[in-house]
Each structure stands twice: as C-alpha cells, then as structure tokens.
Amino acid sequence: MIRVQGLNKWFGDHHVLRDIDLEVAQGEVVVVIGPSGSGKSTLCRCLNRLELAGSGEILIDGVPAPVEGRALARLRADVGMVFQSFNLFQHKSVLDNVMLAPMKVRGVSRTEAEKTARELLARVGIADQAGKMPAQLSGGQQQRAAIARALAMRPKVMLFDEPTSALDPEMVGEVLDVMVQLAADGMTMVVVTHEMGFARRAADRVVFMDDGQIVETAKPNAFFESPTTDRARSFLAKVLTH
Amino acid sequence: MSALLDHLPEFWQGLIVTLQLTAASFAGAAVMGLVVTALRVSPVPVLRGIGTAYVETLQNLPLLVLLVLAVFGLPEIGIKAGLLVTAIVVIALYEGAYIAEALRSGVNAVSAGQGEAARALGLTFGQSLRHVILPQALRTVVQPIGNIFIALTMNTSLAAAIGVVDLTATANRVNLLEAQPIPIFVGAGLAYALIAACAGFVTGRLERRLAVIR
C-alpha cells in the first residue's frame, strides 16, 4: 500500500531523515516509535507530502506520490491524516467538519454526506456532539471527531501523527479504543505514537526510529520482549520503567 | 446656519455622490483585497511576487497623485471614463492594497494546522483558502477592515480635487457663494462623521456576531 525508498529529508543543515525504506502492506498496522526528534513525525508527514522529501521515492498504492497541484490533492484525499493538535476547523460545527471534504472533494451530495457523517460520528461515539463547535468538545472528543472527518473520505490509508500526545491522560483511552477498532476492521494504518500499550495491542509491526534512521523493525512481541539493538533497548528501558 | 439650510438640495446631492463613491470603491477594494491576498499566500512564487509588487506600489503612492495621474493619464492611452468612475476605480485599487494587508494578517493569524488539515483532506489550495482559511481570517480582521472603510470614506473627499462633485466639493462650491466656511465645513464634517459612526456600529455588531469560540 505504501512503499518508501531511500527517503532523505533535511531541515537546513539538519539531516532529519536518513535513507528511510519502509513498506506497509494492505491492512497492516505499523506503529512508529522512538525518542523525540528522531524524525518519526516528519516521516509521517512526508507520506502525504505535508513535508516535501529531499530525495527518495514514495509510492502510495503503487503510484508515485505527486509533488504538487491537483494530483497531490487527489492523493491526499485517499490518505487520511490525524494530527496531534486535532486541527478541526474552528468555524464549523463537528458535523460540518466531517461533511466538508466529501462534498467539496468527492462531490457527494449534502444529504449523502450528512448521512455518512452521522454514521461515522456514531461509530466514534460522539453522535450527540454533532451540532457543537469544536471548542465546546473535550480533547478526546475533538480527536475522535478528527478521526471521523478523515474516515469520511473513505481513505485507503490512515496516518496518525501522535494522536494522543495533546490529550489529558483520562482521554487517551477513548481515542485509542477507536483506533484499535479501526485496526480490527482492517484499515491500513501508520501510527506515530508514544503509547507502548497501543503498539503491543494493535500493531502488526513496530518500527523503531532514532536519529532520523529506522533502527529496528519487528513484531510487537519480539520488539518489546527482546529488542535486538542497544538503542532500542535503552529507549525501552526509559519508557517502560514507569 | 442659513448658508447650510439654503443649500440643502446641493448638500444632499453631494452626500449621495460621496455615498456612491464610498460604497462602490469599498466593494471594488474588497474584491481586489481578496484577490491580492490569495496571490500573496499562493504557493507559486511568481504570483506571490505580483501580489507583493501590487501592495508595495499602491501603498507607497499618495492617493491624490494616483487620482490626478489617472484623470490625465488614462485618456492618453485611449481609456475614456467619467470622473466618478475613474475616482471609484482608483480608490478601489488603492484601498484594495490596504484590505489585502489586513486580510493577510488575518490569514497569518489562522494556525498552520488548519491549512494542513484542509490539504490533508484533499482540498486544493483554492478550496482550503475559500472554505477554511479565509472564513476564519475574515472574522479576526473585521475591526481593521472597518477602520479601512472609515479611512476610505474620508479619502473619497480627494475625488473633489479631480472634479467629482461630492460632499467636499459641494461644501467648497457653496462656500464660494456664501463665504461662511465654519458652518458649511462643520456641516460637511458632521455628515462624514455620521457615515464613520455607522461603520463603527456595524463592525462592532459584526465582530460580536462572527466571533469564533476557540
């Protein structure tokens, strides 16, 4: 579904992604973990070209990701993205947030879009919040609305860029539950996160990044029980002791 | 006082011309402002350059100079238009630069994540601007645009200098007959103040009505 080959990215002199190769199969859930500044968010944002890669190739569903213009917009329509800071459209109700892109990008009728939107809001458990403005919702509800908004485009892949990092601890669970359900339904997902519990529970594969490189890739059990590299071992020692 | 009252029909006519100048040039300036803002935040460098050049040129020349140049220059290149139309177009182009700057500050005030979310959903640049960025940007710049409207109202009096018989020109003409500058110009000034007060009232209402809960 996604194939990344020889991806490099610089911010000025800072080499943030080094020769990244990654393949994500249809229906696979890949969880990317690693210390802050390891480039995992940047990698996630490169996948739908919110960041432009310096060099390398990104293929989505066998097609090279276009660099700009309408072709890029079409690619993004098929790739859902969920952000750390939710990024719901502040001036639109939750329902309108979910309806906007299907109507404007896919040309779906208003009635059809509303029907889908209400179904999705029910699926993420906030059907009763449809008429509210984003700022009237809790963080967890906003993030679930953002997931519904991305799903409304019927994406082939979903990218999650630290979806629970901006949430109060008691709201993390409600968002992760939605994501676990989504994974169980067979969605192809790339999830950048610090939630090790989620990685164990829902990941088909864990990708460990450090210093702009993919250091280790393994099944979650194998990775958490017996990491093969020192860097992964020391990272896990730090995050799992508490 | 009688100087004013005796010439009420002329003043009324002058006020109507001022209102026409104000309304038409503000409408034009709003359209220009939107277009130039879209240029200035466009991903295409050439378009951004054109937008910047437009703003820099028009903000850095006095309106009176532009008006005089248009009145004498346009016929030279074969464009013949009435004085009122010429004044409306020039004021619209000039104030459009200011509206563009106000709008751009509004666009900058919208968090980058809003545009990213819009693009990530597959909206094109134009769609993101139209459905996500500008509606939010406009809400934050209601007050500055109200100020530009008031400044524009005052600036329409410069049209008097190129022969448009607006409120200011009318006051001038009546004063030539009556030689009572104080009551005549106080009267004209009050009429301008009234327009400005209305604008202030409307922007205040708009701002409260459009406020986005954050």
**Contact between chains at A91 and B135 (C-beta distance less than 8 A):** yes
- Write down the pLDDT at residue A230: 93
- The token duo for A42 is 């940047």
Q: Which residues of B touch A87 (CB under 8 A)?
A: 111, 113-114, 116-117
Give the model's pLDDT for residue A94: 97
Residues of A within an 8 Å Cβ radius of B: 48, 50, 68, 70, 73-81, 83, 85, 87-91, 100-101, 104-105, 133, 135-136, 146, 149-150, 153
Q: Are strands A63-64 and A55-60 parallel, antiparallel or unpaired?
A: antiparallel
Quick count: other Cβ atoms within 10 Å of Cβ A37?
13
- Would you say residue B211 has pLDDT above 90? no
Task: Provide, rounded to the nearest whole percent, the portion of chain B with pLDDT above 90.
Answer: 90
CB burial readout B4-22, b (16+ within 10 A) else e: beebeebbeebbebbbbbb
If you write DSSP's letter for every residue of A130-158 in order, what string do you get?
A: TTS-GGGS-HHHHHHHHHHHHHTT--SEE
Residue B15 scores a pLDDT above 90: yes
> Which of the residues A52, A60, A87 would you substitute to probe the B interface, choosing the one with the greatest number of B C-beta atoms within 10 Å?
A87
Nearest-CA distance A51 → chain B (Å): 10
pTM summary value: 0.87
Residues in contact with B140: Cβ distance below 8 Å, sequence separation at least 6, in sequence order: B106, B109, B110
Query: Do the Cβ atoms of A73 and B124 come within 8 Å?
Result: yes
Q: Would the CA dihedral through B24, B30, B31, B35 be positive or negative?
A: positive
Indicate the average pLDDT of chain A: 94
The residue of A89, A108, A151 whose CB has the most chain B CBs within 10 angstroms, and thus the best one to mutate to test that interface, is A89
Nearest CA in chain A to B113: A87
Question: Between chains, do A77 and B113 touch, taking CB under 8 Å as contact?
Answer: no
Q: Which of B46, B96, B90 is nearest to B72 (CA)?
A: B90
Instruction: Tell me whether strands A2-11 and A55-60 are parallel, antiparallel or unpaired.
Output: antiparallel
CB A190 within 8 A of CB A23: no
Cβ pair A76:B120 closer than 8 A: yes
Do the Cβ atoms of B123 and A105 come within 8 Å?
yes
The pairs formed by A12-17 with CB atoms below 8 angstroms and a separation of 24 or more are A15/A212, A16/A42, A16/A212, A17/A42, A17/A43, A17/A46, A17/A53, A17/A54, A17/A212
Q: Which residues of A are less than 8 Å from B118 in CB distance?
A: 89
Q: For residue B80, name the pLDDT band (cuts at 50, 70, 90).
A: confident
Give the pLDDT score at B210.
Answer: 82
Q: Is A119 exposed, middle or buried (0-12, 13-18, 19+ CB in 10 A)?
A: middle
Question: Around Cβ A114, how many Cβ atoms within 10 Å?
Answer: 18
Q: So where are chain B's domains?
A: 2-210
Q: Take residue B8 and report the two structure tokens written for it.
A: 């009420």
Residue of chain A minimizing CA distance to B117: A87
- The answer to whether A87 contacts B121, with C-beta atoms less than 8 Å apart, is no
Selecting from A133, A136, A153 the residue whose C-beta is nearest the C-beta of B122 gives: A153
Segment B74-100 shows an average pLDDT of 94
Closest approach of B149 to chain A, Cα-based (Å): 25
Write down the pLDDT at residue A105. Answer: 95
- Residue A96: the pLDDT is 97
Provide the residue-wise pLDDT of chain A in tens; the chain has 242 residues: 899 999 999 998 899 999 999 999 999 999 999 999 899 999 999 999 999 888 999 999 888 888 878 889 999 999 999 999 999 999 999 999 999 999 999 999 999 999 999 999 999 999 999 999 999 999 999 999 999 999 999 999 999 999 999 999 999 999 999 999 999 999 999 999 999 999 999 999 999 999 999 999 999 999 999 999 999 999 999 888 76
- Cβ of A104 and B131 within 8 Å? yes
Place domain B2-210 in its CATH homologous superfamily: MetI-like (1.10.3720.10)
The predicted pLDDT at position B183 comes to 93
Q: In DSSP terms, which residues pair with A7 in a beta bridge?
A: A20
B109 touches chain A (CB under 8 A): no
**Residue A90 to residue B214, Cβ atoms within 8 A:** yes
> Does B132 contact A89 at a Cβ distance shorter than 8 Å?
yes
pLDDT one-digit tens code per residue, B105-140: 999 999 999 999 999 999 999 999 999 999 999 999
